[in-house]
Structure 1
Amino acid sequence: MNTSTGLSATDLLDHMFAVEMRFLQQDDADLDLLATAFHRGVMVHEPASLPYAGDWRGLDGVGRLFKTMRDTWSELAVEGLQAAQSGDTVHMSCRLRLTARRSGTTLSQPFAEVLRFEDGLLIEGMPFYFDTAAIRFALD
């Protein structure tokens, strides 16, 4: 259980991913929507080898990250989600299915992420992609 809200890892992740997917389907940046699942001081650390590399800070930064991901992928799906929780930290794993917008190449691979929540909102995310070289290849 999340120590500040009593929410389970599944509750936190289901809500966060639902908000992320709704945001990805919008043309306009609705930061108020993001604020329902992401802390205003959120930080997401993406690997240097991906086209959306770097540290994405705040709701505006995460909004830009999601727009970049939407421009990169025509499909992004999370399958077989599993999670473990210790206090405000959630460790999740799944299969990530991605379809490159430009090439149409689809790939599916294991994915993991360490997520830290505060008051039920994501404050820090650190994703671990199984094979960033395969991701880059799909995009070229």
Structure 2
Amino acid sequence: MTVDVMTRLRDFYAAEAAYLTEGAEFEQMAAHLAPDVVMYQASSLPYGGEWHGHEGFRRFIAAMGDNWDGLWFDEQQFVSDRDRVVVYSRGRLRARRTGRTLETSLLQWISFRDGLITEFRPYYHDTSAVLAALTE
């Protein structure tokens, strides 16, 4: 049975939110990720680089949590085909160390294989604004 990519993505987002805000098990989120998933982040960010596999994704989420203690989406739009989804997100993040809130947007290119997420490629509107919010 083929899993619809939008259903998979929405289920992943729900599991991610439960992990970040309710302390749900990482495995609930990982169930939506291919074993060889890759998260790509802009190298200029404190959590930049490539994060490989479930363990890499776990470390990425921890690095994000070290930098941000709040994330709210005010708008999301989705465009999908069989194996890819592009997500436009507009929202706010609150920096853990500075307490600053950043209002920003980003696009994510998310790829799937066999109904599982294989890669995330976020494109930030302004990485310098992200860094400014994180810098004391």
Q: Which TM-score applies when normalising by structure 1?
A: 0.87
Question: Which residue of the partner structure matches residue 13 of structure 2?
Answer: 17
The runs of at least 4 consecutive aligned structure 1 residues that moved more than 4 Å come to none
For structure 1, which segment, 127-136 or 71-80, has the greater mean C-alpha deviation from structure 2 after superposition? 71-80
* Residues 50-95 of structure 1: CA deviation (Å, up to 9, x unaligned): 1100000000000000011111101012231111112111111010
The answer as to whether partners of 1:95 and 1:111 remain within 8 angstroms in 2 is yes
- Supply the distance in 2 between the matched residues of 1:39 and 1:23 (Cα, whole angstroms): 18
Give 5+ residue unaligned stretches, structure 1.
Answer: none
Aligned-residue CA RMSD (Å): 1.8
For residue 2 of structure 2, the aligned residue among 1, 5, 8 is 5
Question: Which residue of the partner structure matches residue 94 of structure 1?
Answer: 89
- Supply the distance in 2 between the matched residues of 1:64 and 1:98 (Cα, whole angstroms): 19
Give 5+ residue unaligned stretches, structure 2.
Answer: none
Residue 32 of structure 1: SS of its match in structure 2? helix
Paired residues, number: 135
The answer as to whether partners of 1:79 and 1:95 remain within 8 angstroms in 2 is yes
* Residues 19-60 of structure 1: CA deviation (Å, up to 9, x unaligned): 2222223669x4422322111110011001111000000000
Residue 99 of structure 2: SS of its match in structure 1? coil
Q: Which TM-score applies when normalising by structure 2?
A: 0.89
Judged with a 3 Å threshold, the aligned counterparts in structure 2 of structure 1 residues 40 and 14 are, in CA distance, closer, same or farther, namely same
- Supply the distance in 2 between the matched residues of 1:134 and 1:7 (Cα, whole angstroms): 35
Residue 25 of structure 1: SS of its match in structure 2? helix
- Supply the distance in 1 between the matched residues of 2:74 and 2:12 (Cα, whole angstroms): 15
Identical counterparts, % of pairs? 33
Residue 135 of structure 1: SS of its match in structure 2? helix
> What pairs up with 1:47-126 in 2 under 5 angstroms?
47-126=42-121
